[in-house]
Amino acid sequence: MYVILSGELIVSKNRVEIIRRKEGDYLGEMSLIGSKPRSAAVMSALPTQLLWK
């Protein structure tokens, strides 16, 4: 799981942008529940700092 400390990330599925995540948002929370394959790809839109758990 990651928390965005600064910057912006693009979440996409099948190369289609789904949502943009910004400071204070989180992603990867499903990895805390179980070990399932990723459901989307994430790419940095701006320089980004993350907190990893």
Which DSSP string corresponds to 2-41?
EEEEESEEEEEETTEEEEEEETT-EE-THHHH-----SSE
Alpha-carbon gap, residue 11 to 44, rounded angstroms: 9
pLDDT of residue 16: 97
Domain range for residue 31? Answer: 2-52
Predicted local distance difference test score (pLDDT) of residue 13: 95
pLDDT at 24: 97
The pTM assigned to this predicted structure is 0.83
Total domains in the fold of the chain:
1
Which residues of the chain, if any, have pLDDT below 70? none
